[in-house]
């Protein structure tokens, strides 16, 4: 039971990290110091997507599932609703490059507004 809970928690952490990479720049509009945490997260996300690396959370999630006696992801709330978002079925190199480019473009626009807002003060 504990291993399953750890696996589910890692999926949630993974999902939250992905959201932070995508949208964390928006937090910098309110709290500019977030940039110092967000920029390394964006760099990591772009590197993982563009080089096709595996995030270290993924094997850890799978390890805890195996230790919990599961072969794969069970059909519970987390697995059913979050895993298809984190691991889309049609994920390929082209889609990974589009996702990485989207992260860079979205966050560049947000950072432009953060810098502009700070420049006005």
The pTM of this model reads 0.74
**Contacts (Cβ under 8 Å, ≥6 apart) of 76:** 8
**Contacts (Cβ under 8 Å, ≥6 apart) of 44:** 21
Residue 81 binned pLDDT confidence (cut-offs 50, 70, 90): low
| 66 phi/psi in degrees, rounded to 5 | -65, -45
Q: Which domain holds residue 9?
A: 2-120
Domain count, the chain: 1
Q: Of 31, 49, 35, 62, nearest to 91 (Cα)?
A: 49
Residue 75 binned pLDDT confidence (cut-offs 50, 70, 90): very low
121: pLDDT strictly greater than 70: no
Mean pLDDT over the full length of the chain: 84
pLDDT of residue 72: 60
């Amino acid at each position: 039971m504990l291993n399953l809970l750890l696996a589910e928690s890692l999926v949630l952490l993974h999902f939250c990290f992905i959201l932070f990479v995508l949208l964390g720049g928006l937090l910098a509009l309110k709290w500019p110091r977030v940039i110092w945490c967000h920029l390394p997260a964006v760099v990591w996300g772009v590197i993982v997507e563009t080089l096709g690396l595996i995030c270290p959370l993924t094997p850890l999630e799978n390890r805890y599932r195996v230790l919990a006696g599961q072969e794969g992801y069970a059909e519970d709330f987390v697995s059913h609703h979050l895993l298809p978002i984190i691991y889309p079925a049609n994920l390929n190199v082209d889609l990974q490059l589009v996702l990485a480019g989207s992260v860079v473009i979205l966050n560049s626009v947000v950072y432009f507004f953060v810098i502009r807002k700070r420049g006005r003060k």
